[in-house]
Structure 1
Amino acid sequence: MVSIPVLVVLTSGIIALLLALEAIRNRPNPMAWPLSLLMVSVAAWALPYGVSIASTAPESVLLWNRLRYPGTVAVPVAYLVVAMTYAGKAEWLSRRACAALAVVPAAVLASVGTNRYHGYYFRSTSVTRVEGASIVAIEPGPLFWTNVAYSYALICASLVVLVLVFFRSGTIYRKQSGLLMIAGVVPLATNVAVNVLTEPGSSIDFTTTALTISGGAFAIALFHFDLFDLRPVARDKLVEELDDGVIVVDREGTVADVNDLAKRLLDGLEIGDTIGDVLPADLESDDEFTVRLDGRIRVYRYRSTPLTDQFGRRSGRIVYLDDVTDLAQREQRLSVLNRVLQHNLRNELSLVIGHLETAMETATDPTDEHIDAARESATEVVALARKARTLEQTVDDHAASDPVCVSTVVDRTLEDLEGVHPEVTFEREWPEASKPTAAASEPLFEAAVENLLENAVVHNDADQPRVAVRIETRDDRVRLSIADNGPGIPDAEYRILHNRAETPLDHGSGLGLWIAKWTATLSDGELSVAENEPRGTVISLSLPLAE
């Protein structure tokens, strides 16, 4: 009659084979083939060992006991493969790495097969009966303990990988890596009890049974409850590469998980912190706030999505901090374009129509005054249209960034202005040999320089108008400063540079400053405005030096 221990071991082997087949059936899952490898190894260990302990003839017992060793040495390697695949490090298991891992198992198998000639694995063997089963009592040799140490080292290395995954993952993912750790710890403890805490070969080895139970639990979670469909590696790759901050909060408001970007946005927010300590309690979905990140101002939009458990009860929420900086800048540009089309162009065209109507009413020979006024208004419309076309280029966030010679662009613009405005004194303040190049979109930079210099000239009401242009390099930046002795920039013009959009009561009179500001923004630069002494304005455009 077959004893219960024999039935348990043989049944473990059969179940392990069934689990391997189930894993193969689910092979599109990236965890399927590692689990199948592990379960096949368990079956290759359990079935020969079950036949060995069920046999009564000493020769048969010893033969089947030796035949279990291919599975015995394969299990630790297979468990390492499972752990590495789960942790997203499967690429580390190259052919060279697998060959290195197979050196000790191959040596063990060769040693077991030739042990009668050297006795390095078993110094001696004998067959005894324990609880109705045949047990091979052994006196271990040095290679036996080498195999035990190597196997335990692989299992421990796998557990270290899973522990790292456990602490790297958020609370909601830790059950996955925790289950895998249990799948290794329980069989390891069983094997330690058989080989270390007792005399090797003095009791029945139920390691394969523990492995089968652990593998079964893992397979059920993997293939039937979708517990591992979003493994931590997939979660990390998805969440960490987002341009948005993601925070998982439980029902008490405690942070259960947070990606790296959210940590940076919220001053080192960590798992276990209270979300209310870093975000205002009255913050509602679609509210926006600004953060300085990597030296630049970014605009983020707050969104919150509730989480529920399997019973529909609220268990927490996911907070998204969406980066809407590009959208905000686009809205700002469209707001200005809208103002230009609805306000400036409309007013200028109204003047054109009004002057022409007046000219037509006065006589068949229109006066020069009305015609000249109409021409100036029409010219202003053309100039605004040209500036608006230049501004349209900034709507494309991928405007090319090329090396631009700052002094060459400034010289060319000054020469044009000197011919048109001989009454203005232009001063150049930079070494003639200096040719600093900035990293910027050349068309936008030229338009910015042209508009800034034009504003300094056209709006200058001084008796002796002067415009001083300075170019200097400092660290990795090139700075263009334009100082005039005019009336200064109106407050409305200055304020709109710090707003998201213009309003009917707070808008500019043109596009020049906007073009300069967006040139700086798209080039990772900065535009600043200061008062000149004793009168006027200093506008500075700082851009990164081209590499």
Structure 2
Amino acid sequence: MVSLPPWPAVATLAVGVANLVLLAYIWPWRDEPGGWWFLVVIGVQVFWCGTYGVALLVFDPLVREALEILTWLPINWIGVCFLAFALEYTGRVDLLRSSAFGAAVAFEVVSTALVVTNPVHNIVWSGFELAPAFGAATVTYTHHPWVFVQFVALFAFSALGIFLLLDTVISYGPLFRKQALAIALTPVPPAAPFFIWVFKLGPVPQFNLTPLMFLPHMLLDMYALFRNDMFEFKPATRRTAERAAVDDIGTAVVITDQQGRVINLNEAAGETFGVDRPEVLAAPLGALYEGDLAVTAGEQAASLRAGGRHREFNVDITPLRDAAGTDVGYTVVFVDVTAERQRKQRLGVLNRILRHNLRNDLNVVVNYADLIETETDADIAEYAETIQRTSLDLVELGEKARRAAQALDGDQQIVEHDLAALVSDVAADVREEYPGGTVTCAVPDGVRIETDVRLFDLVVRSLLENALEHGNGDVTVAYAGTDDESVRLTVADDGPGIPDHELSVLETGEESALEHGSGLGLWLVTWGTTALGGEVDFETPADGGTTVTLTVPGLVRGSETS
């Protein structure tokens, strides 16, 4: 009579075949996020069932121990493979390339080497002997500490994978809830019998039921695949989209906790503030910039010094909430509106120039032209001189507007220059235009600066011209040291000082019919300095005179002078 093979071996091999069928079914989804790693996990289960099923049929001690070594290989690797699947399936592919995951793989390489060479050193187990049960070639041996180390590692990797999948359940709501929950539960059925086998519990401790429990494991996999489109709706898609929404947007975005500490920021924010992400994590939001910004929900305008430049921002701060609706931090979006705000100012000022200055000056020309027709020859020369002077003022105003447009609207060309040479060249030109004035330069040689020459020329020229036009004919431009990565210059005159209403307009950044400047020069200074990323400060003491402090970024380190 032909004896039937023992049922533990048949059942174990049958579970292996069922897992092999599942592997073949999953094959078309191999290129989906987590697909290859899921195939590897199922493949490891097939290998485990196959080697253990065959081992239960072999009663030769040497061959049986060799098969036991093969059975231990999936024990070593199934946990780390499941963790790799969970990382990729939930959109955390970057962690697969991390040193931590590399350490996990290295650990399993060492563990595998110890298992394969165990007959030589007996570090993993000893006392291997057959202990048949249910007609199968079950075995018993003494578990040494490394077995328990591997047990802890297997459960740790599996638990971490389960945590990642359950986090998806909690974070992403019903869209991925059922399939992620099903996959998270798959390690549970095999875990219980493996625990019993490692600690030799139960009436038949030598029989490892773990491979048989891959059947409910497989049923949970099938539920996720067939009922909930496991690879059709992928958490990785949403996580990647969320990351792309922050990382790929061209606007600076910073994520903070409720205390205003930086938790994350995108590449655009790093470029805007001139920082590297690892350096500012956990730092206060204010460490990214100089200036005042209230970290409270809502929109606000902010004038900040960021990345070594003065910038104007529209800042939108929105509460960041978890799936339960609890406030956990803020999303802070910095929209750089420096150029937009400057264009708006320029349009307003040029509108005033056309509406006010040109109209008034042309009225002078027209009125004096009328007088020429009616007055005596003796008066004509005086009237003609007034017409000429007023016309030349209009020509000069137009020339200033042209130079401003060229400097402000073009692309900046940052080149390294000697500061003293730049200032001296501008001063020489201004002296020719104002032969009755005195321009003194007190800028030492050797200080070098990386800047746009046209903008720098526009700013310094406008300051000197304004001082000579409205002062008493003497102006001094002097080096005032360095500040961080910037150079400071002062332009001082002994004139009557800039009227308060003119400075008020510059501070507010807007002109109106009642509040406006008298010309274009101070606006050119403000626009040019802002375009350079610098700052300008006006001081008008009560006893007269004006001192303008100009701070321009781009100092070449090593060229400072005391």
1:444 aligns with 2:443: no
Q: Are the aligned partners of 2:474 and 2:493 in contact in 1 as well (CA < 8 Å)?
A: yes
CA distance in 2, matches of 1:259, 1:522: 29
1:401 aligns with 2:401: no
1:418 aligns with 2:441: no
SS at match of 1:355: helix
1:355 aligns with 2:355: no
CA deviation profile, 1:116-159 (whole Å, cap 9, x unmatched)? 999985532314225xx7361221476xx546634643653675
Name 2:156's counterpart in structure 1: 156
CA distance in 2, matches of 1:524, 1:505: 30
Match of 1:192 among 195, 217, 241: 195
Q: Are the aligned partners of 2:348 and 2:510 in contact in 1 as well (CA < 8 Å)?
A: no
Matches within 5 A, 1:373-384: 373-384=386-397
1:543, CA displacement in angstroms?
1.9
1:470, CA displacement in angstroms?
1.6
CA distance in 1, matches of 2:458, 2:238: 50
Given residue 314 of structure 2, which amino acid in structure 1 is its aligned partner? Answer: Y
Q: Are the aligned partners of 2:33 and 2:234 in contact in 1 as well (CA < 8 Å)?
A: no
CA distance in 1, matches of 2:256, 2:454: 45
TM-score (norm 2): 0.71
Q: Are the aligned partners of 1:126 and 1:137 in contact in 2 as well (CA < 8 Å)?
A: yes
1:42, CA displacement in angstroms?
1.6
CA deviation profile, 1:28-67 (whole Å, cap 9, x unmatched)? 43322122212211221124434655x5x74699487665
Match of 2:316 among 299, 302, 308: 302
CA distance in 1, matches of 2:49, 2:366: 103
Answer with 39-48 or 73-82: which moved more: 73-82
CA distance in 2, matches of 1:370, 1:97: 92
CA deviation profile, 1:222-255 (whole Å, cap 9, x unmatched)? 4244333233x76456536754446799xxx999
Q: Are the aligned partners of 1:482 and 1:540 in contact in 2 as well (CA < 8 Å)?
A: yes
CA distance in 2, matches of 1:473, 1:354: 46
Name 1:239's counterpart in structure 2: 246
Match of 2:524 among 515, 518, 543: 515
1:436, CA displacement in angstroms?
1.7
Q: Are the aligned partners of 1:473 and 1:479 in contact in 2 as well (CA < 8 Å)?
A: yes
Given residue 279 of structure 1, which amino acid in structure 2 is its aligned partner? Answer: T
CA distance in 1, matches of 2:550, 2:357: 30
SS at match of 1:383: helix
1:454, CA displacement in angstroms?
0.6
Query: Aligned pair count?
Result: 511
Given residue 90 of structure 1, which amino acid in structure 2 is its aligned partner? Answer: L
Structure 2: stretches of 5+ with no match in the other structure: 270-279, 287-293, 558-562
Name 2:209's counterpart in structure 1: 204
Q: Are the aligned partners of 2:52 and 2:67 in contact in 1 as well (CA < 8 Å)?
A: yes
Q: Are the aligned partners of 1:244 and 1:320 in contact in 2 as well (CA < 8 Å)?
A: no
Given residue 380 of structure 1, which amino acid in structure 2 is its aligned partner? Answer: D
CA deviation profile, 1:296-315 (whole Å, cap 9, x unmatched)? 55523437699999xxx999
CA distance in 2, matches of 1:372, 1:222: 89
CA distance in 2, matches of 1:116, 1:404: 74
1:450, CA displacement in angstroms?
0.2
Name 1:124's counterpart in structure 2: 128
Q: Are the aligned partners of 2:132 and 2:138 in contact in 1 as well (CA < 8 Å)?
A: yes
Name 2:95's counterpart in structure 1: 89
Q: Are the aligned partners of 2:455 and 2:532 in contact in 1 as well (CA < 8 Å)?
A: no
Name 1:498's counterpart in structure 2: 507
CA distance in 2, matches of 1:268, 1:466: 46
1:137 aligns with 2:139: yes
SS at match of 1:467: strand
Name 2:296's counterpart in structure 1: 279
CA distance in 1, matches of 2:500, 2:71: 88
Name 2:32's counterpart in structure 1: 29
SS at match of 1:128: coil
1:537 aligns with 2:541: no
CA distance in 2, matches of 1:183, 1:384: 79
Q: Are the aligned partners of 2:126 and 2:141 in contact in 1 as well (CA < 8 Å)?
A: yes
Match of 2:113 among 107, 113, 125: 107
CA distance in 1, matches of 2:451, 2:241: 38
Matches within 5 A, 1:67-86: 68-82=71-85, 85=88, 86=92
Cα 1:417–1:248, aligned 2, differ >3 Å: closer, same or farther? closer
SS at match of 1:71: helix
Equivalent pairs: percent with the same residue? 22
1:446, CA displacement in angstroms?
0.8
Name 2:300's counterpart in structure 1: 288
CA distance in 2, matches of 1:471, 1:14: 84
Name 2:556's counterpart in structure 1: 546
Name 2:273's counterpart in structure 1: none
CA distance in 2, matches of 1:293, 1:190: 63
Q: Are the aligned partners of 1:492 and 1:508 in contact in 2 as well (CA < 8 Å)?
A: yes
Cα 1:215–1:109, aligned 2, differ >3 Å: closer, same or farther? farther
SS at match of 1:228: helix
Q: Are the aligned partners of 1:300 and 1:321 in contact in 2 as well (CA < 8 Å)?
A: no
Match of 2:401 among 388, 413, 425: 388
Name 1:272's counterpart in structure 2: none
